[in-house]
Amino acid sequence: MDLLQELSARNYPLYLFGWISLLGAITCGIMAIFSPTEVHGISAWLKPTKFFTSTVIFVWSMGWYLGYLKQTPIISVYTWLTIAVLAFELIYITLRASQGQLSHFNTSSSYNGFMFSMMGLAISIMTLATLYIGIRFFTEPLPDLSTSYVWGIRLGIILFVIFAFEGGLMGARLSHTIGAADGTPGLKFLNWSVTHGDLRIAHFVGMHALQVLPLLGYYVLSSTKGIVMVSMLYLLLATGVLVQALMGKPLIQRKPSANQVHNVYASPNKLKPRI
């Protein structure tokens, strides 16, 4: 509870938005259990569940880090920009899920294409704003924090930005699967392909440097050299799973069950492979 109280004091809007997003994750998770609506052979509600969950982690992480910086007006601008962008994305993703339709990579109409482009533009602006926050951690004095923790935050934000923009590769391809159309059998909940390359894995791993590296810098590592070396290894890991995906290879290869194969090809929302 002390942790939540501290988070509330550091950045109340992001703290509150995190709770709203958590409620959204729980609601969509329940819908995933009981709703028959599917996209690509899986519950349409799994995607908003994952996006709401990742939003909770992101906004509470950034709310915590922002508390270390001088509270200039730009911090407030960043806070409300983040809330506006993520609220827009979450509402649209949830709406399309309720309709059994794709939100991302959907260019089946001018409206769908426009909304997909707007999501990409909004997230790009927010990501660049997050990079600015990362730069602030390089330029502001933070004498009360250990150097390993500060470098964990700095490098965590940098890797987050790099692999957030890796999402642009998926957007350009209108697909996250390499070697097949989206909708191949995947791991439970995450749905990462077990038969082909999946660009979402590097996206996930790289962006969560935002949490992993600061935690290692605070609790495990005690030197700048140590956190920099671990950050380089983390970058190699994220790059490695990206290269593996680009080669068309799954992170974990499994033979799909007959039910998974049936669900994929029976789904009315399965996209046709592109030539």
Quick one: three-class SS letters along 178-218?
Answer: ECCCCCCCECCCCCCECCCEECHHHHHHHHCHHHHHHHHHH
pLDDT at 259: 55
Band of pLDDT at residue 253, cut at 50, 70 and 90: confident
Dist. CA 107–CA 110, nearest whole Å: 7
pLDDT > 80? residue 264? no
CA-to-CA separations, 121 to 36, 118, 147, 171, in angstroms, rounded = 32, 5, 34, 11
pLDDT at 217: 97
pLDDT > 60? residue 269? no
pLDDT at 171: 94
pLDDT at 41: 87
Dist. CA 99–CA 44, nearest whole Å: 9
pLDDT > 60? residue 85? yes
- First-to-last alpha carbon distance for the chain, in angstroms, is 54
Tell me, letter by letter, the H, E, C secondary structure of 113-182: HHHHHHHHHHHHHHHHHHHHHHHHHHHCCCCCCCHHHHHHHHHHHHHHHHHHHCHHHHHHHCCCEECCCC
pLDDT > 80? residue 2? yes
Percent of the chain with pLDDT over 90: 89
The answer to whether the predicted template modeling score (pTM) of the entire model surpasses 0.75 is yes
Q: Please, what sign has the CA dihedral across residues 46, 52, 53, 55?
A: positive
- The mean pLDDT value for 140-157 works out to 96
Dist. CA 208–CA 109, nearest whole Å: 33
Question: In Å, how far from its chain's centre is CA 262?
Answer: 29
Mean predicted lDDT score pLDDT of the chain: 92
Q: Phi/psi of residue 42, each to 5°?
A: -130, 165
pLDDT at 274: 33
- The mean pLDDT value for 155-181 works out to 96
Percent of the chain with pLDDT over 70: 92
Q: Where are the domains of the chain?
A: 1-140, 150-266
| Range among 117-131, 176-190, 258-272 rated most confident | 117-131
Other Cβ atoms less than 10 A from the Cβ of 121: the count is: 11
pLDDT at 261: 52
- The mean pLDDT value for 51-61 works out to 98
pLDDT at 255: 73
120 contacts 171 by C-beta, under 8 angstroms: yes
Dist. CA 247–CA 127, nearest whole Å: 27
User: Please, which residues bridge with residue 177 across strands?
Assistant: 198
Question: In Å, how far from its chain's centre is CA 58?
Answer: 8
In 3-state terms, what secondary structure has residue 50? helix
- The tokens for 71 are 């509270």
Residues 6 or more apart whose Cβ sits within 8 Å of residue 73: none
**Looking at per-residue confidence, does 265 or 225 come out higher?**
225
pLDDT > 60? residue 168? yes
